[in-house]
Structures are given as C-alpha cells and as structure tokens.
Amino acid sequence: MIILKVLGRYWYIAPILILIVAVQLGFGAVAAPNAATTGDAGASANLPGAADILAFFRGTPTPTPSPLPTLTPTPTITPSPTASPTSTPTQPPRPTATGTRVPTWTPSPTPTASPTPTPQPMPTPPVTSPHGFAATVPILMYHYLSDPPPGADAIRSDLSVGPAQFEAQLAYLREQGYHTISLKQLSYALSRNEPLPAKPIVITFDDGYRDQYTNAFPLLKKYGFTATFFVFTQVIDEYNVDFVTWDMVKEMYQAGMEFGSHSYRHSDLTHRDVDFLVYEILGSKEAIEERIGEPVRFFCYPSGRYDDLTMRVVESANFWGAVTTAWGADQSYDDRFEMPRIRMRGNDTVEDFAYKLAVAIE
C-alpha cells in the first residue's frame, strides 16, 4: 500500500526515468559498431599488403603501404622508381652484351662477309707425321662414257670415251694387277700412312652424265672395280635427262661407288667472294649427303679452276681433299687439296692408256 501511495504522489517521475534509460541504450548501440569498426581498421593497418610481400622477396622498400588488388608479382604493381639506398632490379635482367664469348660457327655455315672462313681441322685420325705422307697413285679422269654424237665439236669428242674403249682399259688394268681404291682410302694413306694394295689406282668421273650410269657403272661392276663420281647437283634437282638422277646416285652408292661434290652449278670458282663459294661448295655437299646418308669428303674444282680462297673454303667445309685437272700421279698430304689426275681422251688407244700410266708412275 505504501508503494502505491508513493507512485500516486510522484507519478510524473516515471516517464523521466524511462526516457533516461532509453537514451542510454541508444548511445550504447551506436558506440558498439564504432568500436568494432575502429578495431578492424587498426588490425588491417597492421597486416602486410601485397606491395610489402613483394618488397620482401624483391628486396626493395615500398614507398606506400596502400594495399594492391592481388599478390601476383606482375610488372604493373612494381613501385615506381624513387630514390632509395638500394638499386636492385625489379624485373629479370635482360640479355646485354658482355665479355662472354658465344660460339658463332655451326655445322652448316652460312654466307658471311668475312674475307675468309676459318679452316676446320681435317676430320680424320691424327696425322702421324708433321707433313703427312706421300704416295704415287694415278687418279684417272673421265667425263662422257659414250661415243660422241654426230656433229660433235672438238671438246665433246675429246671428252668422250666409248664403252668399248673403256672396257679395254679396264681389262688392261686387271691384267696388269691394278687395284681400284677410293679417295677415302688414299686419304688415310696420306694422313696415317695406312697401307694400300699393290698398284693402287683411282678412277674418277666428272659432271654426272647419264651415260656414266648406263655405260660405265655396269662395266665397273663387271670387272670388280669401283670409281668416284663428282656430280654438280643443280641439273639433278632440275631432272635434266642428260644427267643422273638421285635414285641412280643412291643405287651406285649402295653398290660401292664413291660420290664427291663438283659444286652446285659447275661455276668458275675463281675470283669469287665467300658467299658465292659457300653457296656453290657447301650446298652441293649437303644435297649429296642427304641422299646417300654419309659425309661427302672430296671436291672437284669445276673445269679445274680455283684459287687460294676456293681451297680455303673447301677445307673449311670439312672436305678431306680436292682433285684438279693438273697432270700427275704424285699425291701428298700437304697437297691434298690440289691432287693431280690423268685425263683420259676420246682418241686414247690401249697403248696410249698404258703409256700414260707408265710415265705417271715413274
């Protein structure tokens, strides 16, 4: 009863108390979100940003702590250059010219403006004498292996040895105990003094005429002889019917014949620049090697014309030697890029043939 009397007398105080409580509750609700927000901001300010992490790994101080979109180390988020105690690069270093020597020579040389190519060592076993060795070995030189056609000029007639004439010469060689060898065998004899068979002789054919396949090749097989064929490859690539085909080359090679380069177009190789010589000499070499699957080691100067630069390019292309049209049979390691030969002519009888051999080997 007493409480009721007090409330009746002081009823106007109750609304005031309720208002005070409400105001206090409102301030508390607002303060709580503000406190939470302030706490998150403080915590976020203490966390490392993407720039800080990148700077740690890169070793570069970051100019600002502002957070970046991602932690991906891309060039777009690299801090802009500012003055700093360190100067470490922020990107992988680009290749720059240094004193490191980088090899420039390749197995397949390309034309350069260099006045002369760098000679490569002869890819044979080491020479067992300072100047190698010497040997007297006739190298016969043939061109056409057919009778000259009607109306042939003097040059064509002189270069043409008929099949019957050629067979008589082969028969003479067999009767006299000659043994055909390859230029590779001769090279080993000159560089390492490897023994050669009794009365060694090399038979060579220039140009790659079709009659060398149709006439000479069967006769060589008949007498058990081998020969070296120097072909220039442009006419083979162009399917010229007067010259051998690549299939013929493969067949002859598989039968034991040796092949050498006679340039690409049978051009005069004197007074030429290196670009021209590399194109003519190396191009033909690689074309033949692609077909026979074996390195081509010997070169024949077209029309017997060459100069010092020609020989140096031939040597730099990893040839082991080269034959000329100069007359003779004395071969040596020192002159392996100027090997002499004995020309066979269209009017040579067997007696002429025998006389030429006798004089050459004296």
pLDDT digits over 31-40, tens only?
444 434 444 4
Q: Considering only CA atoms, which of 238, 241, 239, 291 is closest in space to residue 261?
A: 291
For residue 130, the model assigns a pLDDT of 73
Strands 258-261 and 228-231: parallel
Residue 164 lies in a domain: yes
Domain that holds residue 259: 134-360
State whether residue 322 is helix, strand or coil: strand
Domain assignment present for residue 309? The answer is yes
Q: Is residue 303 assigned to a domain?
A: yes
Residue 37: predicted pLDDT: 40
CA-wise closest residue to 312 among 272, 266, 267: 272
Structure tokens at 119: 């000679």
pLDDT at residue 193, rounded to an integer? 95
Q: What is the pLDDT of residues 11-47, one digit of tens each?
A: 666 666 666 655 555 544 444 444 344 444 443 344 3
Contact 228, 319 (CB under 8 A): no
Please state the domain count of the chain. Answer: 1
Longest dimension (CA), the chain: 167
The verdict on residue 167 lying in a domain is yes
DSSP label at residue 300? E
Query: Residue 316, SS3?
Result: helix
- Residue 326's nearest CA partner among 141, 155, 194, 111 is 141
Q: Give DSSP secondary structure letters for 16-34.
A: HHHHHHHHHHHHHHHHHHH
Backbone angles phi, psi at 340, to 5 degrees: -80, 160
170: Cβ contacts below 8 Å, ≥ 6 apart: 219, 220, 222, 223, 225
b/e sequence 61-89, b meaning 16+ C-beta within 10 Å: ebeeeeebeeeeeeeeebbeeeeeeeeee
Q: What pLDDT, on the 0 to 100 scale, is given for residue 283?
A: 95
Report how far residue 328's alpha carbon sits from residue 342's, in angstroms, rounded to the nearest whole number.
6
Domain assignment present for 30:
no
DSSP state of 144: B
Task: State how far the Cα of 309 lies from the Cα of 41, in Å rounded to an integer.
Answer: 81
Domain annotation covers residue 110: no
Q: 313 pairs with which residues across the strands?
A: none
Distance CA 73, CA 54 (A): 7
* Residue ranges in the chain modelled with pLDDT below 70: 1-129
Instruction: For residue 17, count other CB atoms closer than 10 A to its CB.
Output: 9
The answer to the question of residue 4 being in a domain is no
Q: Which domain CATH number covers 189?
A: 3.20.20.370
DSSP string, 189-224: HHHH-----SSEEEEEEEETBHHIIIIIHHHHHHHT
Cβ atoms 277, 116 nearer than 8 A: no
| pLDDT for the residue numbered 102 | 34
DSSP structure class, residue 36: H
Predicted local confidence at residue 174, as pLDDT: 98
50 occurs within a structural domain:
no
